[in-house]
Chain A
Amino acid sequence: MSAVLKTALPVRESPAPESLALKAEAKGLDFYYGAFKALKNLHMPVYEKKVTALIGPSGCGKSTFLRSFNRMHDLYPGNRYQGEIRMYPDNVNILAPDVDPIEVRMRISMVFQKPNPFPKTIYENVAYGMRVRNINRKSTVDEKVEKALREAALWMEVKDRLHDLAFNLSGGQQQRLCIARALATDPEMLLFDEPTSALDPIATASIEELVDELRQRVTILIVTHNMQQAARISDYTAYMYLGEIIEFGETDQIFIKPRNKQTEDYITGRFG
């Protein structure tokens, strides 16, 4: 076992099994970009109010899997899902053709790889999710904007310049703004696609800290190419390779006692 990974492991009591509830579950999920099959028969639970990390070498399908959860692929022609992602407690297959992708995106929010604030003010960025939902009462919006910015640990830094352009923030602040934007509408689940890959180490640390706090109120699914990060912040980890889930388990187990040889090779750095 590599020393790096051992020191990187957080000390965390194992979750009490009775507190585990399913928030979503992939069941036999296949995904096609045109004729190219990018995801192959994925099965994976996502537990409520836990952080689930997707790791694996570049191009293995992590983003493709993540973006299936909010039907992002529906934006482009030629993409096709097969199988199910069930969401609970309502037990609906969010990939079903008769489920509106907009409804899914309203329930499951997303933070992207590179911070992508709109060229608007800080305030309007956070308020946009509410505008989309026709929530326009100023007092309500004000309140929710503040709450979301506090939850994203950005309030103290921006409260005096809410009407400045979001582009004037640093990269790390922009990413926290995007998190606030995603939080402002109380999503049931939050997707992160390598949210720190464009950030410096200090900004990265603050995002990780934030994810650690957010787990108490929202279910999180996060893609990361950084194994230490997965080890530090996630409760569950899935290792993916060539469009398949090779191994899924509690993060501690995956990093200390992987059952699969391929997983072990990857996390010990012999491969990837």
Chain B
Amino acid sequence: MGATTTGTDLHAGKLRALRALIASHKRWDLFFASVGVLALMFGILAFVALFFDMAVDGVPRITPDFFASFPSRRAENAGILSAWVGSTLVMLVTALAAVPLGVGAGVYLEEYAPRNWMTDVIEINVTNLAGVPSIVYGLLALGLFVYQFGLGQSILTAGLTLALLILPVVIVATREAIRAIPVAIREGAYALGASKWQTTHDHIIPYSMAGILTGVIIGLARAIGETAPIITIGALTFIAFLPPPPVQATAPFVNFEWLTSPFTVMPIQMFNWTSRPEEAFQANAAAAGLVLVVMTLVMNALAIYIRYRLRRNIKW
């Protein structure tokens, strides 16, 4: 009887010590969770505060006229027509250049490139390119596209410059999407006698499309806000005309003159307005900023939606 009692006591003591230990471990969970929440809140609150500040100043200016007017010396008449048209056309060029180049390079590196030191060096460089400051791309483009190739301070130059800028993002996204395809699927295609190109064309590219498009859109969302390289290549800050339209009513129906046209883009228009002393222009800048943020958010939402749509049929 006595032996049992001491046994129980011993047992209870051990259990108490164990619980104390677990409780002390859990204090660290609590500590880290609080720090984490604080860190998260800091980021989110800062963004929300900025966004609201901008919204308060900018929302009254967001009227149909604001989108349909050229910049003007009078703040209340000024709008973002040339800026959003310019941004859209530049993004079009960027996407058309970055997608084939980036996807081509990514597919080549994953599927075709021999595994040797050359490939390793290229891979490391591609990853590093993503970290090169954007103004350096601007400088490169000024020398290469503007002077060397004589493309001028045009939409084409700007589009190609931003394409270079987001190329690493597209390449990395392409490679990651390709790597997510199970080996068994690839081998399944080869086992039926498919050639490398057939496997790439019929399987690798379609199955990695969701990841590739997501990468492209994230890249474009970054590019649309880029200012430094566009200023470097010499975009105008005040422009009161639109590039010639890409399509026309008469044959040959398409027109490529817009590519060589001078232009401005959203962030430059915004920068230009913020540097004006008048209060009214600050409101214009806030409104343009708001439009830009919304454009970026819409692009990100689109990326998520495309990912969801294309991945629906793919389960692995």
Which of B61-69, B102-110, B181-189, B247-255 faces chain A? B181-189
- Residues of B in contact, count (CB < 8 Å): 22
Q: Which residue of B lies closest to A181 (CB)?
A: B192
- Residues of A in contact, count (CB < 8 Å): 27
B314–chain A nearest beta-carbon distance, Å: 4
Find chain A residues with CB under 8 A from B184 CB: 112, 114, 116
For A97-133 the 0/1 string (1 means CB < 8 A from B) is 0000011011001101010111100000000110111
Chain B residues 189 to 228 lying within 8 A of chain A, measured CB to CB, are 189-195, 198, 202-203, 207
Q: Are A132 and B185 in contact (CB under 8 A)?
A: no
Answer whether residue B5 sits at the interface, using C-beta atoms and an 8 A cutoff: no
**Distance, CA A116 to CA B187, complexed state (A):** 9
Find chain A residues with CB under 8 A from B315 CB: 119, 167
**Distance, CA A114 to CA B188, complexed state (A):** 11
Q: Are B195 and A102 in contact (CB under 8 A)?
A: yes
- State the B residues within 8 Å of A (CB): 114-115, 182, 184-185, 187-195, 198, 202-203, 207, 313-316
A132 with B187: in contact, given A119-B207, A119-B314, A165-B313 (CB under 8 Å)?
no
Answer whether residue A17 sits at the interface, using C-beta atoms and an 8 A cutoff: no
Q: Are B191 and A109 in contact (CB under 8 A)?
A: yes
B243–chain A nearest beta-carbon distance, Å: 42
Q: Are B190 and A106 in contact (CB under 8 A)?
A: no
- State the A residues within 8 Å of B (CB): 70, 72, 75, 77, 102-103, 105-106, 109-110, 112, 114, 116-119, 128-129, 131-133, 165, 167, 178, 181-182, 185
Q: Could you list some 26 contacts between A and B, CB below 8 A?
A: A75-B187, A102-B194, A102-B195, A105-B190, A105-B191, A105-B192, A106-B192, A106-B193, A109-B192, A110-B191, A116-B182, A118-B185, A118-B203, A119-B314, A119-B315, A119-B316, A128-B189, A128-B192, A128-B194, A129-B193, A131-B202, A132-B198, A133-B193, A165-B313, A178-B188, A185-B192
Q: Are B182 and A72 in contact (CB under 8 A)?
A: no
A167–chain B nearest beta-carbon distance, Å: 5
Q: Are B187 and A182 in contact (CB under 8 A)?
A: no
Q: Are B192 and A75 in contact (CB under 8 A)?
A: no
Find chain B residues with CB under 8 A from A112 CB: 184, 187-188, 191
Closest 7 CB pairs of A and B: A106-B193, A116-B184, A110-B191, A116-B188, A129-B192, A119-B314, A105-B193
**Distance, CA A129 to CA B114, complexed state (A):** 27
Find chain B residues with CB under 8 A from A105 CB: 190-193
Q: Are B193 and A118 in contact (CB under 8 A)?
A: no
